[in-house]
Structure 1
Amino acid sequence: MDYRTYEPCEDLASLIKCYWTLESPKEDTPMRQTIVPDGCMEMIFHYGDLYKQYTQRDNCIIQPKCFVIGQLTRPLEIESMGETGIFSVRFQPGGFFPFATMHVKKMENTAIPFGQLFGNAGKEIEQNILNAHTALERIKLIEIFLLSRLTEVATIDYVVKFTLDTILSASGQLTINEVSKQTNINRRQLERKFSLAIGLSPKQLSKMIRLQSTLKMLLNKQCKNLTSLAYENDYYDQSHFTKDFKELTGFTPKEFYGDNLKMSSLFYGSD
């Protein structure tokens, strides 16, 4: 398995967290992989074989060849159908908003085909990226596409941007009332503005950011046990920690530690 990340150009760095590629040969016994919500939307281009995506009732769909995945509010299970070749654009939280052609809230937990989002221009860039031979070629193509669209759309509201920065800088550990006081705006109004731009409520994003911080500590073995891990990340108590953890990963902390953690950090949160 070959996983690599690449930095965006300076003009897109505030919107794009990174580009990443994943290449892997066909597995004799494919395993489901769990992707944990982290508040970052992604553009996915399968230049290899496609992936299955499992639904809540354990049915599965086949992912499109190229798509944007909306904000995840629950763990996502996927499974390779052959040889993996993926190029992805991982946006910063809120980074996809300037390029959105539909309300990001309506994209929640859904893979939206490129053509549906961007019409003929989307189909053209899709084919160009699939036909490219290297990651650097693909990065150049998608940056030209994205930069050309930046001149046509609005930017995120100042209050939303301030709220987002506050949540990120606090590693998701502030309550929404505390965030609302700092923005000097009614909580309900703040939640509405935030949801329209980010696709999540401030509370949902805070929960994800805090969990991602927790997962990194787990991965780096920075805590002696799960109790100290919960304490370090400012959870009220162990039951609160376990509840949030299972909601976003599908596992209890003890169940998740191991291969699931490694696979999740591969797709999310380590860059």
Structure 2
Amino acid sequence: MSAHQVLLCFIIWLAIANVTHLLSIADIMAPQSEYTTIRPNPSLRDFVSHYWVSPSGSDGVYTALPDGAIDLVFQVHNTDCNSWVYGTPTARIDIPLQPHCSYFGIRFKPGQNRHFMQPSARELTDNSIVAHEAMDVSLNQISEALLCADGAMLFDELLKSYLNKRLPEPQRIDDAIRLIEAHRGVIRIREVVDMFGQSRRQFERIFLETVSVSAKTFATITRFQHTAQLLTATQKLPLSHIAAELDYVDQSHMSRDFKRLAGVTPRQFTQGHVAFLQDVCFDSDEQ
């Protein structure tokens, strides 16, 4: 069975298992037939945002936009399986894709990659490393799951089994991350520090090590992600309305922040994002 068929079998199995399909910016940016995002087992949802699968095998580029998350990415070609860990970018990055390869990935929730890998998130910012240099979980088992139709069905079980042995402990920094996300990035960092209960310096150090960017940058990225969602919503809103909704000083402020992170203006994003975000784009998740 080819890698293309294996990943398709995985998608079909997940659908039969009634796994909820996620709609996110990634779905907007890629044809549904080429790219699928899938929720993990409920017991993993505090740690994993979603899995994504791209069985198309087409060449091109993947445009990664800042999202505050870290991905474990597998590239499958016939019986070969290679893997990398991609840290969150702080600006748009265009990553070349290899022709005739399928891709499978795990999007960890911000800060939750720490339960599965050795390096601090800070070491991965705007960077990628070969997965076996970073991951604590057995990559051999994951590779076998991707290359075996029966094994693919056990992928959730591999991660659950790993967590059951390690018993991850929640930390105060998780509450800080959730607070920023709940406010869509529109919150004073001083308020987050006060909730955290330690000095500003200690908070910033722990946040940077856990999430890979500063709390202020994470808030900016979170607001950017919500801006992109509103820009591509079914009900089109004026740019001035979106700027006010997300508490930007004005529309120009929103446009400057957006272009710095996405590489294009909000108007260009809404009018022509398909032209530069090609058929495998998986850089955000619906919270």
TM over 0.5: yes
After TM superposition, give the deviation of residue 146 of structure 1 in Å: 5.7
Aligned-pair Cα RMSD in Å: 2.7
Letter in 2 for 1:38: D
Q: Give 1:92's match in structure 2, choosing from 109, 117, 122.
A: 109
Aligned residues of 1:18 and 1:89 also touching (Cα < 8 A) = yes
Structure 2 vs 1, CA of residues 244 and 78 (structure 1 numbering), >3 Å: closer, same or farther?
same
TM-score (norm 2): 0.77
After TM superposition, give the deviation of residue 236 of structure 1 in Å: 1.6
Structure 2 vs 1, CA of residues 73 and 155 (structure 1 numbering), >3 Å: closer, same or farther?
farther
- Please say if 1:269 is aligned against 2:271: no
1:232-243 correspondence runs (5 A)? 232-243=245-256
Find the counterpart in structure 2 of residue 60 from structure 1: none
Find the counterpart in structure 2 of residue 54 from structure 1: none
1:201-212 correspondence runs (5 A)? 201-212=214-225
Find the counterpart in structure 2 of residue 14 from structure 1: 46
After TM superposition, give the deviation of residue 34 of structure 1 in Å: 2.1
Between 75-84 and 145-154, report the one with greater CA deviation: 145-154
Q: Give 1:46's match in structure 2, choosing from 75, 88, 101.
A: 75
Per-residue CA distance 1:7-49 (angstroms, 9 max, x = gap):
212321100111111122435xx4x442211111111111149
Letter in 2 for 1:77: D
- Please say if 1:68 is aligned against 2:85: yes
Find the counterpart in structure 2 of residue 131 from structure 1: 147
Aligned residues of 1:46 and 1:130 also touching (Cα < 8 A) = no
Find the counterpart in structure 1 of residue 174 from structure 2: 161
After TM superposition, give the deviation of residue 81 of structure 1 in Å: 2.8
The secondary structure found in structure 1 opposite 2:102 is strand
Aligned residues of 2:43 and 2:160 also touching (Cα < 8 A) = no
- Please say if 1:190 is aligned against 2:203: yes
Unaligned stretches of 5+ residues in structure 2: 1-32
Letter in 1 for 2:51: Y
Structure 2 vs 1, CA of residues 118 and 15 (structure 1 numbering), >3 Å: closer, same or farther?
closer
Q: For 1:248 and 1:151, locate their aligned partners in 2 and report how far apart those are by CA, in whole Å.
A: 38
- Please say if 1:82 is aligned against 2:96: no
Aligned residues of 1:125 and 1:145 also touching (Cα < 8 A) = no
Q: Give 2:65's match in structure 1, choosing from 32, 36, 39.
A: 36
Q: For 1:81 and 1:110, locate their aligned partners in 2 and report how far apart those are by CA, in whole Å.
A: 19
Unaligned stretches of 5+ residues in structure 1: 50-63
- Please say if 1:152 is aligned against 2:166: yes
After TM superposition, give the deviation of residue 225 of structure 1 in Å: 2.1
Q: For 1:76 and 1:142, locate their aligned partners in 2 and report how far apart those are by CA, in whole Å.
A: 29
The secondary structure found in structure 1 opposite 2:74 is strand
Aligned residues of 1:74 and 1:248 also touching (Cα < 8 A) = yes
Letter in 2 for 1:255: Q
Which fold has the larger relative contact order, with Cα–Cα distance below 8 Å and residues 6 or more apart in sequence?
2
Aligned residues of 2:231 and 2:237 also touching (Cα < 8 A) = no
Identity percentage of aligned residues: 24
Q: For 1:192 and 1:156, locate their aligned partners in 2 and report how far apart those are by CA, in whole Å.
A: 18
The secondary structure found in structure 2 opposite 1:96 is helix
Per-residue CA distance 1:50-94 (angstroms, 9 max, x = gap):
xxxxxxxxxxxxxx9311111221212123331341111111111
Structure 2 vs 1, CA of residues 260 and 69 (structure 1 numbering), >3 Å: closer, same or farther?
same
1:239-250 correspondence runs (5 A)? 239-250=252-263
Find the counterpart in structure 2 of residue 117 from structure 1: 134
Q: For 2:174 and 2:143, locate their aligned partners in 1 and report how far apart those are by CA, in whole Å.
A: 34
